[in-house]
Chains A and B, each alone.
Chain A
Amino acid sequence: MYAYTDRIREIARRLLSEDRVDLVIGYRKGTVPFMNEPFAARTPEQADRLWWDSFCGANLANYLPRRTDRVGIVVKGCDSRNVVVQILENQIPRDKLFIIGAPCKGMLDRRRIAAELGGKDALVAEEKNGRVLVQGRGFEVDLDRGAFLQENCSICIHRNPVIYDELAADLVEEQSGVDRYADVRQVEAMTSESRWEYFEELIRPCIRCYACRNACPQCYCPTCFVDESAPQWVGKTLDPTDTRTFHFLRAYHLAGRCTDCGACERACPVGIKVRQFTKKLEKDVKELYGYEVGLSLEERPPLDTFKPGDPESFIM
């Protein structure tokens, strides 16, 4: 893991001193354990503050739309697919980007670790050979890294960046035999009424802070539908119908665009599994139109194209 940091710093330093980019967007070590921060290095000296470990879950592609400067950016597998979508959607030109690919073995879920610690405050987290050593005042825990992955990382099948100019490490082995949609099928098997209840329960704690929207690299509309007032598509209250409408439309906006990077779920302050909405769409897009998001710059996004023989069994 620490080899990544050295390599990312070296690449960033080179890019900045050769004036090939105006800034390099990466991570720096967070002020609390398990949370690294986004960081933009603008001088070769600042490049030394870049950092990499298993707590770089934030999706940096979020900082790309409509930039006009030359950007270097550190991307994981999922982030790189988000970058592909943004290039396809003309949010950022490819030639303004220098993509530093970071083959990823999954990011760790701070909530899972916190739960394991049972309320004890961690001060330092260190990684070595697939173990995470967490230290706090008067305690030390040695955890198995694999058991604390973010949920979307444990079912990830695109760990390697799909698009990059330079790699921060050797490509990693992709996971195989992963069942990505077990949870979606579980919900699909329920009756309408219990599905309604399931989602009602799921979003009950929602406080409508829109963190899921803000963390999402694909949510870049100049005016979001939740902010529109004439017509007002969704009320601004905590009325369950409004909350439901918000979650529905947020997810639907990501149809054929979501890479399941998990940024939304990671950002949610009340721990709602918001990926339950987007994953259904991901599954449908794959099953109906055979499209996987962000793998190619050649293929148009699924809702921007069609085939004359598209499935239409739902039409009367």
Chain B
Amino acid sequence: MSEWEPKIVAFLCNWCSYGGADLAGVSRLQYPANIRIIRVPCTGRVNPKFILAALRHGVDGVWVSGCHPGDCHYIEGNYYARRKFGLLKGLLEHMGIEPGRIHFSWISSAEATKFAETARAVVEKVKAIGPARHFIKRQAEVA
């Protein structure tokens, strides 16, 4: 068995961070392959339930990334998201989720280097805490 590799779900906004990831790809920038990208229209679209659902399915980390404040395609979606995530992260960590599992960032579609760097940082932090242990819903075994 090779060394454990974390699974990380990344919710990337269509207009900025997804573009950033795309640019990182065409620019042949290297970043770890632990990230599973889910494209969303805006970080404002990310319902806290999505993050919970990801944790329940056993992901080791969650990363949400969108446009810089002021650059939202929908003018203010990320401002609302920022408040939502601040409280969400606070409560999750209050309840015992390790700091370092849930990440948020602002990455524009021109910031391919920042995308690759942040991806590396997220993977590193999740690796440091180890595999997810909490909030995982073990599916009933079917005979």
Is B31 part of the contact surface with A, judged by Cβ < 8 Å? no
CB distance from B113 to the nearest CB of A (A): 14
Q: Which residues of A contact B79 (CB under 8 A)?
A: 306, 308, 310
Across the interface, do B83 and A310 meet the contact criterion of CB distance under 8 Å?
yes
Residues of A with C-beta under 8 A to B28:
none
Q: Does B88 contact A (CB under 8 A)?
A: yes
Contacts A235-B137, A312-B82, A316-B121; is A196 near B53 (CB within 8 Å)?
no
Q: B: which residues have CB within 8 A of A?
A: 48-49, 52-53, 56, 69-70, 76, 79-80, 82-99, 103-106, 118, 121-122, 134-138
The answer to the question of A169 belonging to the interface, with a C-beta cut-off of 8 Å to chain B, is: no
Nearest-CB residue, chain B, relative to A242: B137
- Beyond the given pairs A288-B83, A306-B80, 11 more chain A to chain B contacts, judged by CB atoms under 8 angstroms and listed by A's residue number, are A199-B96, A225-B49, A233-B49, A239-B138, A251-B91, A280-B94, A303-B83, A303-B87, A310-B79, A316-B118, A316-B122
**Contact status B95-A248, CB under 8 Å:** yes
Whether B49 lies near A199 (C-beta < 8 A) is no
- Which among B69, B76, B93, B135 is the interface contact of A192 at CB below 8 angstroms? B93
Q: CB of A45 within 8 A of chain B?
A: no
**Structural contact, B83 and A241, CB atoms closer than 8 A:** no
Closest chain A residue to B48, Cβ basis: A252
Per-residue CB contact flags for chain A residues 166-209 toward chain B (1 = under 8 Å, else 0) read 00000000000000000010011000110111111000000000
**A284 with B86: CB separation less than 8 A:** yes
- Asked if B121 and A252 make an inter-chain contact with CB atoms under 8 angstroms apart, the answer reads no
Residues of B within 8 A of A184 (CB): 94
A187: chain B residues at CB < 8 Å are 94
**Bound Cα distance A242, B135 (Å):** 8
- B contacts with A: majority SS: helix
Asked if residues A244 and B104 are in contact (CB atoms below 8 Å), the reply is no
Contacts A199-B96, A233-B52 given; does A281 touch B86 at CB 8 Å: no
Q: Taking A303-B84, A316-B103 as contacts, is the C-beta distance between A197 and B96 under 8 angstroms?
A: yes
Q: Which residues of A contact B (CB under 8 A)?
A: 184, 187-188, 192-193, 195-200, 225, 231, 233, 235, 239, 241-242, 244-245, 248-249, 251-252, 255-256, 277, 280-281, 284-285, 288-289, 302-303, 306, 308, 310-312, 314-316
Taking a contact as CB atoms under 8 Å apart, the answer to whether B98 and A241 are in contact is no
Determine if A248 and B105 form an interchain contact, defined as CB atoms under 8 angstroms apart: no
Q: How far is the CA of A310 from the CA of B83 in the complex (A)?
A: 8
Give complex CA distance A192, B82 in Å: 23
Smallest Cβ-Cβ distance to B99: which chain A residue: A192
Q: Once the chains are docked, how many angstroms separate the CA of A192 from the CA of B130? A: 14
- Most chain B CB neighbours (cut-off 10 Å) among A193, A231, A239, A314: A314
Q: Write the nearest CB–CB distance from A267 to chain B, whole angstroms.
A: 21
Tell me the minimal C-beta distance from A245 to chain B in angstroms. 6
A231 & B94 in contact (Cβ 8 Å cutoff): no
Among B70, B86, B95, B135, which residue has its beta carbon within 8 angstroms of that of A195? B95
Distance of A236 from chain B, by nearest CB (Å)? 12
Would A289 and B96 count as touching, CB distance under 8 A?
no
Asked whether A252 and B87 contact (CB < 8 A) given A196-B96, A196-B134, A315-B105, the answer is yes
On whether A280 and B91 interact (CB within 8 A), knowing A225-B49, A316-B118, the answer reads: yes
CB distance from A172 to the nearest CB of B (A): 32
Alpha-carbon gap, A261 to B123, bound state (A): 42
Closest B residue, CB atoms, query A307: B79
Across the interface, do B82 and A199 meet the contact criterion of CB distance under 8 Å?
no
Closest 9 CB pairs of A and B: A196-B96, A306-B79, A195-B96, A316-B105, A241-B137, A280-B94, A284-B90, A315-B104, A192-B98
With beta carbons under 8 angstroms apart, the residue of A196, A245, A303 that contacts B52 is A245
Which residue of the partner chain, among A199, A231, A280, A311, contacts B86 with CB atoms under 8 Å?
A311
CA distance A302 to B105 in the complex (A): 21
Query: Residues of A contacting B104 with CB < 8 Å?
Result: 314-316
